[in-house]
Amino acid sequence: MYVIEDKGGAIALMLASLLFLGTWPAVLTLLERRGRLPQHTYLDYSFTNLLAAVLIALTIGQLGDSKDGMPNFFTQLSQDNWPSVLFAMAGGVVLSVGNLSTQYAWAYVGLSVTEVISSSMVVVIGTTLNYFLDNRINKAEILFAGVACFLVAVILGSAVHASNAADNELKLNASNKLGANASVEPSKGTLSEHAPKDLENGASGTNQVTKAEAGTAEYLIELEERRSIKVFGSSTFIGLSIVFFSGVCFSLFSPAFNLATNDQWHTLKDGVPHLVVYTAFFYFSISCFVIGIGLNILFLYRPMAGVPKSSFKAYLNDWNGRQWALLAGLLCGFGNGFQFMGGQAAGYAAADAVQALPLVSTFWGILLFGEYRKSSRKTYILLGFMLFMFVAAVATLMASSGHRSTK
């Protein structure tokens, strides 16, 4: 079994994890904005997310000879380590529910601010728990300075969201596109929300879609008419509630995985080795898969957030964007795996530096979706300061990393 022995290798894994975990949300957001049903997207995502864990376990988890207290993947499958397995699977359950929640939060609140709020909750709650579970192997004065940077960035991120929302409202009011009840006036040449859709074939009844300039009122209207989750006129409380719920879920999955691999509560019998990170990640991903598949099959027939009903046959026939959903699953799966591998070597509190993923998500949001395009000067200033604080947070959390002995 391959073990990360040096701090440089752990940091490289965390950086790769940061890139992957910041990119897959943008991919799913892109599909939702193009009108693909979130149930279809998440089902595709779930299959490749599990595939990533299987590949990691069968390759890196089997590489080299077993060491004392660190057996290979197949060896551990037959050992009496069920308490740790249950911790790993519990982590997978909360992560799956959190990921599923954010898929709707991205539509209601926006990609950037959703990632900022949920990531900050992970840092404040999850990183603090991991620090004590890791027997304080990280440098506290540096670690909690990084936590403080995240908190400042959260405040700035909330201000960015408020400022940008005000900018968008001004644009809509100026063009008389938003009625008194926040209803949308269909714009000429765009895809109406009443356009027929052939759900059995995963296709829309028309391809007539114009491309308005990003940041304009026309662009906002066309986006609302095209996307699968309608958000105009929705309560701000609904979106924020979903974000905070997902943040709580995200804050718990890393400490649960920490307990699964290090057995700080001494639940294993004497002589039973701890779960190695690759085996724990395998069980973690199985529970992720079961929850994700089960809930989204239910949502096909009983959808939430006003999403249209579908069917399993419609899902199988919906190939529009399927390759992107499958890619998102691989990115998330390898991103989580790399985070756990880095955390096992350098401490899970330091590995939570990947919660600076809003840096990457904001980049994709600006590049792909035109977020903050044609916004006010105030919004741009706040956005710049927010990104600066996230850079500082990543640097400080990585600088706090210690080294966990494998002997």
DSSP letter at 187 equals: P
State the pTM of this model. 0.81
Element holding 204 (H helix, E strand):
strand 203-204
Q: Is the separation of the CB atoms in 251 and 101 below 8 Å?
A: no
CA distance 109 to 93: 24
Confidence of residue 289 (pLDDT cuts 50, 70, 90): very high
* In the chain, where the domains are located: 7-175+214-400
- pLDDT given for residue 136 in this prediction: 73
Closest CA to 118 of 305, 391, 355: 355
Confidence of residue 201 (pLDDT cuts 50, 70, 90): very low
Closest CA to 62 of 344, 276, 337, 343: 276
Lowest-pLDDT choice from 189-198, 203-212, 259-268, 347-356: 189-198
- Give the rounded distance of the alpha carbon of 205 from its chain centre: 32
- pLDDT given for residue 47 in this prediction: 97
Confidence of residue 20 (pLDDT cuts 50, 70, 90): very high
- pLDDT given for residue 16 in this prediction: 87
CA distance 266 to 386: 41
Q: Which residue has the tokens 């050992």?
A: 79
CA distance 217 to 228: 19
| Position 69 pLDDT exceeds 90 | no
Average pLDDT of the residues in 114-129:
81
Comparing 2 with 122, which gets the higher pLDDT? 122
Confidence of residue 199 (pLDDT cuts 50, 70, 90): very low
Element holding 197 (H helix, E strand):
strand 197-198
- Per-residue pLDDT tens over the stretch 364-396: 888 888 888 888 999 999 988 988 887 787 778
CA distance 227 to 34: 6
Helix %, strand %, coil % of the chain (to 5): 70, 0, 30
